[in-house]
Amino acid sequence: MGFTSANEQYLSKIATNEQHGENSPYFDGLKAYDNDPFRTNQNPNGVIQMGLAENNLSYDLMEDWIKKNPEASICTTDGVDKFKDVAIFQDYHGLPEFRKAVAKFMGRVRGDRVTFDPDRIVMAGGATGANELLMFCLADPGDAFLVPSPYYPGLDRDLSWRTKVQLFPVICESSNNFQITPEALEEAYEKAIQAKVNVKGLIIINPSNPLGTILDTKTLQALVRFINDKNIHLVCDEIYAATVFSSPNFISISEIIEDVDCDRDLIHIVYSLSKDMGFPGFRVGIVYSYNDAVVNCGRKMSSFGLVSSQTQYFLASLLADEVFVEMFLTESAKRLAKRHGIFTNGLEQMGISCLKSNAGLFCWMDLRSLLKEATVEAEIVLWRVIINKVKLNVSPGSSFHCVEPGWFRACFANIDDETVEVALQRIRLFVGKGKEKEVVAVKNKPWQKNLRLSFSPQKYDESVPPPCLMSPHSPIPHSPLVRTRT
């Protein structure tokens, strides 16, 4: 049962502060889908989920492996003889075979150009738990981390909500494809210092969420020199490392520090199997630190978010199958490349460009030409129409702390081919590049029967009220931005 605002007097300040971020357009878009989900036959006019960065394109490969390896699960007849050994209490370190398998997999994802020590693997409840665990280890309440923007909205929750760590954006702009510059780093650092804030580190997401781009060697070397000069930490979130689907190849910070002289005690990696393997529900987060004190402290803290022993046992078996892992990573990259091409080429035919990218599960769409004016307020108006009328959940750039209104993130790997086609048809109709005859129902295509949505191409009404975005299970109020009328 949800709490009303009157009940909040009984809750802690940590529980009720606004830094969770759920009252933002990013999370409101997810709730819009929950309330009116698109279903090919049951609800063809529902909201299509393009706000969730999930990798669903290769589940058939996983399912086939599971069928061939039933002993990998303790909940099958073939694996039940291991049930007792796995079901009993396991310590913070995790199963040795799990840590060994994850360390080897991390190396494989990085082209076997670097190796990882299983004894430095610290478990957490997904990347969310891993990021927060590191903040608890590295910073005190009020301390700050620099974060290049645009960045994943969930970082506000992961890094700040319970830790009280502050985030200072490093402003990146479209004029240089949102690359991180030394000038932007210094400006953000000085801004924090002038505010009398203690800067403890820099966190980067590589490959980037939401940009879908990777950092090159020169940039990574510059970042290492920057944090080394300032004597601050560098946290590298590399959870999209195996979603790179075209050149150039991904370069891990673990490779960079092999060639750049730096204090390795300042270097930490966050990893997960949520994106690369498509296992977000397994809640497998990893902290890999080159700092012995962080490893020891993190291991104690991991007791609040351990990976279940059953999951560890299953993944140890799966990841140890090197033939399967090689096949899966190769095929997954091919499928991501194909889907990325279908979606971006479809947008390009309508005159919509995306930032050039080669990784991730999403595109960074440039819809600036559809804004009435270059303001966040105009962006939110457009976003409301896309959610309410076009019925697509794409996320506005302002929720990613982008300083340039009009950029939107669209996820393309969590839906099937047919739904991608519906989404492109809806966008085509909205921007006015398509003709009505293109959306007439076709035989054997029942999803097209109700495609004539109630909006006029390239026109949007600011008086259109927002949809009912709140999840019936959430006690969090609507975002102020959703309620904004301009």
Q: What share of the chain is helix, strand, coil (3-state, %, to 5)?
A: 45, 15, 40
Could you confirm whether 417 is annotated as catalytic? no
CB half-sphere exposure, 265, CA atoms < 13 A: 8
The single residue of 152, 189, 288, 460 carrying the catalytic annotation is: 152
Q: d(Cα 191, Cα 371) in Å, to the nearest integer?
A: 31
Residue 271 is among the residues annotated as catalytic for this protein: no
Which of the following is catalytic: 100, 104, 230, 275?
275
Which CA distances in Å does 213 have to 172, 177, 248, 355?
13, 9, 10, 9
Tell me which of 48, 232, 239, 253 is the catalytic residue.
239
Whether residue 90 contacts residue 98, with contact meaning beta carbons closer than 8 Å, is answered with no
Q: Which residue has the tokens 């109630």?
A: 454
Exposure b/e, 228-265, CB count within 10 A at least 16 = b: bebebbbbbbbbbbbbbbeeeebbbbbbbbeebebeee
DSSP characters for 123-179? EEEHHHHHHHHHHHHH--TT-EEEEEES--THHIIIIITTT--EEEEEE--GGGTT-
CB atoms near residue 221 (< 10 Å): 17
> 158, 237, 276, 366: which is the annotated catalytic residue?
237
Residue 452, helix vs strand vs coil: coil
Measure the CA–CA gap between 469 and 29, rounded to whole angstroms.
7
Alpha-carbon Rg for the chain, nearest whole angstrom, is 23
Could you tell me which of 226, 236, 129 has the C-alpha nearest to residue 186? 226
The Cα 363–Cα 318 span in angstroms is 30
Q: From CA 307, how far away is CA 204, in angstroms rounded? A: 24
The three-state secondary structure class of 237 is: strand
For 247, the 3-state DSSP assignment is coil
152 has catalytic annotation: yes
Q: Is 275 an active-site residue?
A: yes
Nearest to 146 by CA among 81, 198, 109: 198
**Most distant CA atoms of the chain, gap in Å:** 66
- Helix (H) / strand (E) element for 203: namely strand 199-205
Catalytic amino acids? 152, 237, 239, 275
